[in-house]
Structure 1
Amino acid sequence: PALKTADLVEQYHRYGETIGFRPLTLDKNRHHLKIFCESCPELPLAPEPIMDFIHDLKCGMRTKKSYYEVIRAFYNYLVDFHNIKTPLTPRMVPRADKHPYFRVLSREEVIRVIGAAENFQERMILKTLYATRIRAGELVSLISENLYPDKIVVTGKTGTWEVPISEELYDDLKLLGEGPLFKDRRGNPMTRDGVRQRVEKCMKLAGITGKKLGPHTFRHTSLTHLYEDTSDLPLVQEAAHHI
């Protein structure tokens, strides 16, 4: 008899809750697999229905890849706990479109740019942007009162949230003094334009040129490196604080 996709999906959701999937992962799984169930009420055991489902999604290639990753994790669960052979193959992975605006730096280039900083403040701007993946506007809002040994509280356009930091970054940020962590020469909070100018200067000194290079390059680069290291799209979206 045909297997009901919805029944197996519900078991998978309970499994995810039991082993402690992140809330964002659980939400994404429920959203994507609900649509998958509507399209494929009987569990596909061949690749063609899944390929057709992903192809027919009315969304961009990045979102299609997100659906594929969720479906792949679901079938991995079926392989492990229901002895169901996965129909997924590497050739089914949607090709992610390249970001049209921001270049991704290599890890060597990141080190080179940080090494081109001419003072401690510039170096900390670059290290903080890469380590925390926050935006320039969020960087200039950082204050010493919100700095803790394992995290920093960030305020930005999507609200207020906590970002984990390393002990090394904490020790370095403490050296920036009290009040606003990043100040201009008059002791006032640095502006986003001030951050942009310093980042662009360091990139130029490091020999990195091109269009749309600036603070957001470090954010986009760090998020890309995180995905390369983990292949965990929900984790990357959580790190980007996309809500």
Structure 2
Amino acid sequence: MWPTYIKQFKNYLKLERSLAPNSVDAYLADISKLQQFFEIKERDTLPTKVVQQDLIDFLEFINELGMSAYTQARMVSGLKAFFRFLVYEDVITKDPSELIEAPKLGRKLPDTLDLPEIEQLFNAIDMSTSEGQRNRTMLETLYSSGLRVSELINLKISNIHDDIGFLRIIGKGSKERLVPIGKSALKHIRIFRDEVRVHIDVKPGFEDHLFVTKRGKAISRVMVFMIIKDLAAKIGLKKSISPHTFRHSFATHLIEGGADLRAVQEMLGHESITTTEIYTHLDRDYLKQVITQYHPRS
């Protein structure tokens, strides 16, 4: 039933509202995300049975994935247009989105970076030093794989499977997951590991840590925060950013590009939200395809 109503909505947007193709695609993508959400939650909810609480749950889910306030506001706009259409067509009598409010954008800058800003940050790094090579590799990895800062600083060389383009990550609660990594980040990892790190006198106990200080010990969370803050100041970036900003940007750019929610959820290492509490892992090839197809730097 979802495909039927989505097709009718598409025709309505094109023929009656005369929207541009890009705008039509954006609206349809928002409705598709709502449908995916119901599938992830294992709810057999039809468009005609959606209630306000369903939409609130969906927006909370999107927020937890790290969507910016701007993206959430745009999604609310798409949902409202869809349910107004269903009322207009007498498919439903009550609009479940009527009282749903978009996040207030206000003066607070969104906790995400656009691609030009990410490129600016990368380009501001002094690549002539070993620290610069390391820092560029760390930020490329953060943005390419959406890692938490704790996962980044504990990334082990033995867990980099560059032959298949995946990282083995030990996340919260010591849970493991495989995360695809883009070509650009993988290239920097190889160069740093094989040409830079080999010249650092690594202290005992840190032999398998990819990212180490010039004194040969594991890099700290605070150091990663400081590196990012210094780069932001260097390029005059007005946004307040942290390592988590790269994780948010990773998720936002993938979803805005068209990646499905379940794939992004798995790559971020979020808990599955299913009635059975059993998480079915997606095929590795599919996750790799999502990164290749939808990530801006792949």
Which residue matches 1:155?
A: 170
Distance 1:56 1:223 in 2: 24
- What amino acid is aligned across from residue 224 of structure 1 in structure 2? T
Alignment of 1:194-209 (within 5 A): 194-209=223-238
Distance 1:97 1:232 in 2: 22
Helix, strand or coil at the partner of 2:41: helix
Task: Rate the CA distance shift 1:104–1:134 in 2: closer, same or farther, 3 A.
Answer: same
1:121 aligns with 2:137: no
Contact 1:62 1:96 in 2 (8 A): no
- What amino acid is aligned across from residue 43 of structure 2 in structure 1? L
Alignment of 1:1-243 (within 5 A): 29=39, 31-34=41-44, 36=45, 44=48, 50=50, 53=51, 55-57=52-54, 59-60=56-57, 62-63=59-60, 97=103, 103-118=111-126, 119-149=132-162, 150-158=165-173, 159-177=175-193, 179-211=208-240, 213-230=241-258, 232-243=260-271
* Shift of residue 97, structure 1, vs aligned partner: 3.1
Task: Rate the CA distance shift 1:210–1:231 in 2: closer, same or farther, 3 A.
Answer: same
Quick one: percent identity of the two aligned structures?
23
- What amino acid is aligned across from residue 179 of structure 2 in structure 1? V
Task: Rate the CA distance shift 1:140–1:234 in 2: closer, same or farther, 3 A.
Answer: same
* Shift of residue 58, structure 1, vs aligned partner: 8.4
Specify every segment of 5 or more residues in structure 2 that has no aligned partner in the other structure, as ranges.
3-34, 64-74, 80-88, 127-131, 194-206, 272-298
Specify every segment of 5 or more residues in structure 1 that has no aligned partner in the other structure, as ranges.
6-24, 38-42, 73-84
TM-score by length of 1: 0.64
Contact 1:116 1:203 in 2 (8 A): no
RMSD of equivalent CA atoms: 3.9
* Shift of residue 64, structure 1, vs aligned partner: 7.6
Task: Rate the CA distance shift 1:111–1:28 in 2: closer, same or farther, 3 A.
Answer: same
Greater relative contact order structure (CA < 8 Å, 6+ sep): 2
Contact 2:178 2:267 in 1 (8 A): no
Helix, strand or coil at the partner of 2:185: helix
Contact 1:153 1:162 in 2 (8 A): yes
Distance 1:238 1:215 in 2: 19
* Shift of residue 132, structure 1, vs aligned partner: 0.6
Contact 2:37 2:58 in 1 (8 A): no
Contact 1:61 1:97 in 2 (8 A): no
Task: Rate the CA distance shift 1:65–1:217 in 2: closer, same or farther, 3 A.
Answer: closer
- What amino acid is aligned across from residue 155 of structure 1 in structure 2? I
Contact 2:149 2:244 in 1 (8 A): yes
Could you give the per-residue CA deviations for residues 16-41 of structure 1, whole angstroms, max 9, x where no partner exists?
xxxxxxxxx9895163524x37xxxx
Helix, strand or coil at the partner of 2:178: strand
Which residue matches 2:282?
A: none
Distance 1:101 1:241 in 2: 26
Task: Rate the CA distance shift 1:29–1:208 in 2: closer, same or farther, 3 A.
Answer: same
- What amino acid is aligned across from residue 145 of structure 1 in structure 2? S
Contact 2:121 2:232 in 1 (8 A): yes
- What amino acid is aligned across from residue 134 of structure 2 in structure 1? Q
Could you give the per-residue CA deviations for residues 123-143 of structure 1, whole angstroms, max 9, x where no partner exists?
111111100100111000111
TM-score by length of 2: 0.53
Task: Rate the CA distance shift 1:215–1:238 in 2: closer, same or farther, 3 A.
Answer: same
Task: Rate the CA distance shift 1:176–1:86 in 2: closer, same or farther, 3 A.
Answer: farther
Which residue matches 1:80?
A: none
Number of corresponding residues: 191
